[in-house]
A and B are shown apart, each in its own frame.
Chain A
Amino acid sequence: MVCVGVKIIEERIVEAYVGEYASGKSENAVNRALELVRSGRQVNLVDLDLVEPFYTLRPIKQELTNMGLKVIAWETGETMGLGEAGSIIKPEMRWALQRPGDVILDIGYGVEGAKTLNLVEGAAQNPDLKVFAVVNVYRPMTSTINEIISYVSELGLVHGLINNSHLGDETQIKDIEEGARIVTEAAKELRLPVVATAVDIKLKKEFSTGHDCMGNPVRFLTRFMQNTFW
């Protein structure tokens, strides 16, 4: 804690969401950022998908901005060409950690994508930075304990796992619980905490204790990414 006059400035929250392609990184990052906004904090959400920089947060940028987030993402009019024609980091992204307020980094594209973090100025030295790997056990490369362990080991710096196991609209409680068991077991082997189990807000009633069957805290997700391309 740092005291400035009589105003107390809390430590800021800096979190990066990494993980396998289509594991739910963006959905978790967006929801986490909004949760912080709702608690009265100033929050920057940074879209660091440099492989497909025009498709991730761009379609919902305005909606998120209206909800009080500072969204740092490319806009179509600012650029020319397609993701596959080359990727550029936006200067605001490179310097994102210098911004006032919390910073949530949505880092696209699996293991290669996780290296994008190296492009963010000051990331390696930032004492607040927490990197969370988002895992859905119904995704092909992270289905079993062993697969998760080897996958997360490839990601580099990781401080915790998020169990985001689901089957889209067909998700049942037992699917989430099965995911919680596998992810918790993998986390134990990796000596990492399970930061949360992410659950669609539609299933809120079923998780009224705020914890999953393994005792991990539950974070409820409102789905925004359905309104994006991918």
Chain B
Amino acid sequence: MTEKPIQGERKMFLTGNEVVAWAALAAKVDIMYGYPITPQNEIMHYWTRMAPKYGKKFLQTEDELSAGFTTIGGVLAGKKAFTATAGPGNTLMQEPISMAEMMRIPTVVVIQQRGGPSTATVIYSQQEVTMTTYGGNGEGFRVVYSTATHQELFDYTIKAFNTAWKYRFPTFVLGDGYQAKMRESLHIYDPEEKGIKLVEPTPTLSRPGQIGVNREPNHIRNTYNTEEELYQIVMGYAKEYAEISPEIIEFQEQDVDDAEIVIVSHGVVSRAALAATQELRKAGYKVGYFRPITLRPFPTERMRAVAANTKKLLVVESALGQLNKLVLNEIYGLTTPIETLLKPGVGVTSEEIVTRIKSLL
């Protein structure tokens, strides 16, 4: 009998990558598949250091295509499985994740965004938003949680497995190189002790019983013969995705009710946005803060209400308008002007946001 990885609640000082590995253990994940890439490497390092102690498994594959497909294999066999990658690895990962989207396979992928295009930097960016939300040859039927703190990395990694297995859409935890490497304290806990019910994995293939005798065949497909057949399937998924979206959507906001300008940001940048909002409010500026936590599905209804109720939006991100593109799409029809502070591959400080807001008001 292996011991439980986390007993009770403990305060720890961890890097974001370690947080993910611990969260996966806490979520009772059976196996990680992976191929190394900075800045997510330590997720694998820590998983492989802890895995044998808790009877867990790991497979290093030859590349990210294979890491994605083996993750799918693990899930089909009824195991809670995940992988983690970044940058060009995420690009390759889109092929297996498109398959997971089509075959409704509850894969979990943790992304620690790095600079792009291509190899670029190993350090940091928010340039994988478009790819993570809508990458692959499909319609973006996936869930993307964008985290901002180590506590959230822990909470949402656990949640990602539940979301994936409950709704059977591929689920991403979207972090970044700063979160990956930064050290911060957080509470780690056993989710079940906190009353969080973990969804039990079940095998998709090789289920018990005999086809035609005591069970139906389970024919999962990613290939269809005709346009009409595909159309029916995709539209069915779209309808289902729209129906479950309200249950999944999450966002965070502050001081939006009387705000003359609302800062819209996500992930680690929202920490700077929140600090700027608080500082500006203290100085008497009517500033608000809005942050989608789920980038897919996007909190459209609330984003539109916030945009309609303010004079201006300021979209801030470490990319050249990837969040901005999502926001524009969601608020189409409103006339609220959008200003931007876009720094592809570079961090954004609260001071920069404060300066920009002051120049806009």
A residues adjacent to B (C-beta < 8 A)? 21-22, 55, 82-84, 136, 138-141, 143, 166-168, 170, 229-230
Contacts and interface: CB of A to CB of B under 8 A. Distances in A.
20 contacts: A21-B15, A55-B123, A82-B119, A82-B122, A84-B37, A84-B41, A84-B122, A136-B13, A138-B13, A138-B185, A139-B12, A139-B13, A140-B12, A140-B14, A140-B18, A140-B50, A167-B13, A167-B185, A168-B13, A168-B183
Nearest to B185: A167
Given A82-B38, A140-B18, A140-B22, A167 B11 contact: yes
Given A82-B122, A136-B13, A139-B13, A230 B38 contact: no
A138 B11 contact: yes
A196 B182 CA distance: 25
Nearest to B41: A84
Contacts of A168: 13, 183-185
Interface residues of B, number: 24
B58 interface: no
B4 interface: no
A139 B14 contact: yes
- By secondary structure, the B interface counts as mixed
Given A21-B42, A84-B38, A168-B183, A138 B12 contact: yes
B15 A22 contact: yes
6 A-B pairs with the lowest CB-CB distances in the bound complex, closest first: A230-B181, A138-B13, A167-B185, A84-B38, A167-B13, A82-B122
Contact of B49 (A22, A84, A141): A141
A167 B10 CA distance: 12
Interface string B268-289: 0000000000000000000000
Nearest to A169: B185
A141 B13 CA distance: 11
B46 interface: yes
A43 B181 CA distance: 29
Contacts of A22: 14-15, 183
B157 to A, nearest CB: 15
